[in-house]
Structures are given as C-alpha cells and as structure tokens.
Chain A
Amino acid sequence: MNESNDTLGENVQALRKRDPLLADRLRGHTIQPCWEAFPARNGQVTARKVLGEGLVRHMHSRHNPEEEAVRWAGLVPPQVEILVVLGFGLGYPALALRKRRYSGLMILVEADMGLFQLALRSVALEDVLDDPHTRLFVEEDREIIGRCIGGLNPGALRCLPYPPAAELYPDYYRSIRDIVERHLFEHRLRETPALSRGIGDLLRETVQ
C-alpha cells in the first residue's frame, strides 16, 4: 500500500500549480468515515464506501485497480478529442487514459470531495493533476461545469462514466451528462440536418 504523507504532499503541490482554488477548497474538508481505503491484492490502494445496513460499494478492483481501469479506458473511441469523465474515483481511470496514450482534453468530474481527498492521499496522481490537458471539477456547481462544456467544440466531445464511482451519485452525474449530450445534440442538428431529421422520424416511430 503506497499511502503516505509524501503522496498527499506531492499531489497537492501538483494540484496547486494547475488549480489553486481547488487546492484551497481541500482545506475545509475532511474525509467522511464511510470511506475506507485498503490494499488490493497487487498492493495498490483500493477503496469502498460503507452505505449502511450492511451495504458497501467498491470503487475499484480488489485485485488490480490499475488493470481494471486500463480495461475501462479501452472503451474510449479513438477519434474522441475531448472526453468528459464522470467519476474520478481514486484517479486510476484518468491515469489509465493517459497510459493508453489518450492525448485529448480530459474533463474530470467527481461528485464527492471525500473520495477525492482519499485519492490524493492514496495514489500518485501528479501525471493527471499537473497535466495542462486536464480540467478537474470536484463537488462543483453544475452551472460552472456547464459553462466550461458549453465553450468546447461539441463535435469532438464525448461523455464516459466510470460506473463504480458514477453510480453513487446518479442524479448529479446525470445532470452533467445531460449538458454534454444536449451540447452534442444541438451541434449535430446544425451540422447534419438531413440525418438528424431522419433520426427524429425514427424516434417518433419508436413511440408509435
């Protein structure tokens, strides 16, 4: 298990360089006791959330979190230039995207500041936090995220949830995804009107 104060310090330092406001916001937060970090079989840190009544939700593999995240990152279509990742988890998904040489812009969204803090304590994330092609939103207002997404080229935009993290806060992530999908939808209506009309007819027929 590679949890250490060094990891936290280096991560916060990297974060401060790119996003000092977010680094400042960390100060006021503590990790809720429902979050538990523990070593996976391969020695990396993994985490779970205790929901009460005997229910738990794991964020990453208990065997090999990195390998699992790399497999998930394989779902990203090659032509995508801007990727909105819903659910940061302990950061393995974002690291895996870079490991798979995804070179586009990453918008990383995490709904839970506690989980993010746990990530900073547990996993060396400088490659992501210090990356100029990464934007990170943690427990952020939807309108602020919406403004950021609204300014991006929609044709190059795709949304990809990291399900174990995204399923914990379905309403929050769904509203972010709504923003992305609507932005892409409006772009497609403008750019490919004939095809879009055809799909509109198809969807009308679907409910007949």
Chain B
Amino acid sequence: MNILVIRTHRLGDILQLTPMLEGLKEVYPEGRIYFLTGREFVPLLEGNPHVDALIPIPEKEYRYYLKHEPERYAWIFNEIYDLIGELRRERFDLIINRQYEWGGLLASLVGASRIVGGAYSPERGFYFGDQPSKDLFDTIKQDRTSNRRNLVDWACRIAGLPPGDYGPVRLSVGHGARREAERLTGAGDTRPMVGVQMGAAKSFRQWGAPRFAKVIDWLIREKRRRVVLVGSEDERELSETVERVCKGKGDDLMNLMGRTSLTTTGAVLERCELLITGDTGPMHMAAAVGTPVLSLFFGTAYPYETGPYGCGHFVLYSDLPCAPCLDPAGCQSGHACKGMVTPPVVMRAFETFEAFRRGEPVVWESPDPSVRLLVTSRGAGGEQVLLSPEEVKDPVPENDRLHPRTDDERFLPEVLRAKGDEIVLSFMEGEAEGGFASFPDYLNQWLALTGALTEKVDLEAARGLLRGCLEAMRCGDMVPLMDAVEYGFKPLLERAACDDPMEDCRANAR
C-alpha cells in the first residue's frame, strides 16, 4: 500500500495531519507513506515515525519565480514534469490531497487507484470524489456553526480511517533545537515561563499588541512568570509595543521573534508552561510538543474547526450570532468580537487555567456572557470535543491526557550523519541556499552530540574546525563545509567509541 499525502504549506495545517498519519500507519502497518510538502516545512515532519518518505517541493520559490521571473517557466515546468515521472513510478494506491485545487491537479497528474480530499479532471474540473470531503465542504459552505468536528478528525475521516483516537498532533524537535532553546531562554532558570504569539496571518485575526502588552505586564508583575515572545521576523514590530510597556522587566521578558527556526520555536514552546495565542500555526505547534494553549478565537476563527487539538487546551471564544465571521472586511460592528475579549478576560482565563492545572474544579464567569471559555477534550468516539470548564468533571485525567513529552532520538549519531549527508547533497544538487541555511543547525546538533559523547573532546581542535566552518559560511564557500561534514564531523561520529575521537577533527583543523 503506497500512500501519498499532499500538503505544501501552512505549518498548522501540516501538523494537523499528523494524527491522520499515525492512523494510516495503524491501519496499514506495511504501507509506505509519502508526504509531499513545501521545502521549508520539512523540519516539521523529519522526525515523524509515521512518514516513510518526505518529498520536498520548493513551492514558495516556484510562486516567486513564476510571478517575478517568468523566463524561468521552462525550468519549473521541467522540474514538475520530472517529479511527476518519479511519483508515477511509485504507483500509489491512495492519494490524500489536503491542498485543494493545486493538490487535486497534482494528484490527477500523478494518478492513483483512489484520490480523496479533492481531485481534478479536465471534464469536471475540481471535485470531491469522497463523501467526507463533500460533507466537510458543504458544512463549511452552508453553515460552519453546524460543524462540531475538528479538522484533524475530518482529515482522518477523509483518509478513510474509522472514527477513533489516533493520537496527538506531533512534532519532534530534536536535541539540537532543545539545546538552542535552553540557551535562548536560560538553561538554569527554572521559573515558569509563558509563551506569547501575537501575530496572525490576517490583520483582522490579530488581537493587538497593546492588549497583549497589558496581559504580559500582568503575568510578569502579578503572576511572577517569565514571558517569551515567539513569532516570525515579519511580526517583530508588534514586540516594540510590548517592550515599551514592559520596560525594565529585564530577562523576565524575552523577545525571540524572528530569531528561531521552526524546530527551535517548537523547543522553546516545549519549555513553556502555556502559550497564549490566536488561531495560529504556533498554537498547533505548542499542542504538538505537549504544551497547553490558551487561544483567543474571534472573527473568522472557529474553535470547533481549527481549535488546538488534544486534551486540556483552553479556548476563549467570542460566540456572537455573527460568529464565525464570513466577511471581516464588511463588518458593521467594528469587530466587536475582538473587543469583547479584553485583557482582564484573558487574565481571568489564565487564572482559571492555573486552577484547572492544579486539579481544582473551576467555574467560568465572564463579564460578557458571549465570551465563552472552552476546554478541549475527547468525546466518546475518540474525536475532539469542546466543553465548558464546568462540564469537565475531573480535570486531572484531562491534564494527564495532554500529549506527553518524550525525548526523541534525533540526537543519535546516525541521525546527525544523515543530516550531514543531506547538507552535502543540497550543495551538490546546486541548492546552496538550503545547504547554508541548514548548516548552523547541524553545527548546533553536532556540538550537542559531542558534548554528550565524550569528556575527552579536544576543544582546541574542535574550535579550529568550527572556525573553518564559520569562515566558509561568511565566504559563501560550500566546499570547506562539505569537507567538514565528510572528513571532520562524520569520522568523529564513526569513531565516537574510540579513545581519541577528535583525531580527525584535529587533522581537519590543521
């Protein structure tokens, strides 16, 4: 059974498919699962035990070149042509398309015994050949409020899995990313830390930096928490307001926006007690590393559909008659849904969360009855349900059912060796940008590993090797980096058990 899953972008949407992947492995233990995704999202799935082969595609670059350098059309056409040829050779039994029209077109070109989630034919155009996809589409189109099923559970149904509990959303962050997260957030500081993600893809889905700033200030002053800001480089200006309001808070406020890779963001979130966020990719990421979430849903966001998956997450939802919004640009109420979720409401939700985590029964009282607090849980059939805190009879089992954090094995020498080979391959294939981008993470993992391997590390030789790599990165010189992997780092790993594992390292540094 060869299965191809197509989802090229949006980190939250990719992570939301991980329970489905687990379910597919459960139902087809001998099957091979291929996942076609955007090249920049590969780290989200690299350590996933339910994916047999990752097929990265530079979709973002394609989009850029097709718009701005149309003379590259022939190159891209030929690359896609070759990709389709390779995929056809796999003779897929099932293609699960979660990329709508684009995925449907690709799926139809690749071909499979069965295509679900949206297919395409020149005669019919884009169409849904399977009942769950039709049902999901009709529900969303006609009346979203009638839907009570999370998209994670919809994906399992679309894949043809029987209703059930197929495990949590999942992200393996790896030892190198954990080490980096420790460095960034203070390895020795054991005070509880709350993550805050302020940005959102659409402006009408952003709660606003001034509101976040009030909550953050309160968390630091009143609740004695450290706060770490996560987010992308594009969102960095949001942090200026927070830094102004929280001036003088020292290292109680850490701004990591734009400073972390995908996996390091995951590792930072893993260290958090809670993430406060809107309906965002990092929300799913926090859930995927076992960190509870307090998420704010208003505007077009609908928690039954895209709420954080798993047990024990909190959702504040502006449940107005017009929610979820279908036309934010044409809103007549001045986005009242957003204004109703005031900073004091979020503070109260945080305190409710604290009580819940202590295993105390909780009661939610909002100044505005339209703002509901919902807790994620599992229904009788295994699918996700949202309950009011009062409906949660015993919070302790719900807490226990939060995705347990487990150390993965990505720091093992074989995994690091494979990563080194991938970097060399990137350079050799002419993907220098990707090779240079991956190298710092590789260095980081290597440092973490050598720290764990031996106490006899010759620091001087290691420094020489690392200096050489940094210089090569500065020059944009790929050959010394390939050499370092092949003749420096790799032999060291292979000889990890020897008396003097740094011998090759020293030779390379000379």
Contacts and interface: CB of A to CB of B under 8 A. Distances in A.
B59 interface: yes
Interface of A: 41, 51, 54-64, 68, 71-72, 75, 161, 163-164, 166-167, 177-178, 181-182, 184-185, 188, 195-203, 205-208
A75 B101 CA distance: 32
Secondary structure dominating the interface of B: helix
Contact of A62 (B80, B84, B483): B483
A56 B480 CA distance: 11
B427 interface: yes
B80 A207 contact: no
B66 A195 contact: no
Given A71-B428, A178-B71, A185-B74, A195 B482 contact: no
Interface in B81-103: 81, 84, 101-102
Secondary structure dominating the interface of A: helix
Contact of B480 (A58, A182, A195, A200): A58
Closest 7 CB pairs of A and B: A58-B479, A185-B74, A181-B74, A63-B487, A202-B105, A182-B74, A181-B75
A59 B482 CA distance: 12
A72 B428 CA distance: 6
Nearest to A73: B428
B479 A206 contact: no
Nearest to B425: A75
A199 B109 contact: yes
Nearest to A86: B430
A184 B82 CA distance: 11
B67 A203 contact: no
A185 B72 CA distance: 11
Nearest to A202: B105
B480 A199 contact: no
Contacts of A72: 428
Nearest to B8: A206
Chain B contact-residue range equals: 35 or more
Chain A CB within 10 A, most for which of B108, B475, B483, B486: B483
B340 interface: no
B439 to A, nearest CB: 15
B77 interface: yes
Given A63-B487, A198-B105, A203 B77 contact: yes
Contacts of B500: none
B503 to A, nearest CB: 14
A11 B23 CA distance: 62
B78 interface: yes
B66 A206 contact: yes
B78 A63 contact: no
B483 A61 contact: yes
Chain B CB within 10 A, most for which of A51, A58, A184, A200: A58
A84 B432 CA distance: 20
Interface in B196-221: none
A61 B479 contact: yes
Interface string B54-85: 00000100110011000101111110110010
Contacts of B478: 163-164, 167
Nearest to B435: A163
Contacts of A167: 432, 476, 478
B429 interface: yes
A41 B76 CA distance: 39
Contacts of B106: 202
A57 B475 contact: yes
A54 B122 CA distance: 57
A184 B63 contact: no
Contacts of B59: 206
B477 interface: yes
Contacts of A196: 77, 81
B67 A59 contact: no
Contact of B75 (A61, A177, A188, A207): A177
Contact of B78 (A185, A198, A206): A185
Nearest to B62: A206
Nearest to A53: B475
Interface in B423-439: 424, 427-430, 432
Contact of A203 (B76, B101, B122): B76
A205 B432 contact: no
B3 to A, nearest CB: 21
A199 B67 CA distance: 16
Contact of B483 (A57, A63, A205): A63
Interface string B467-484: 000000011111110110
A206 B486 CA distance: 37
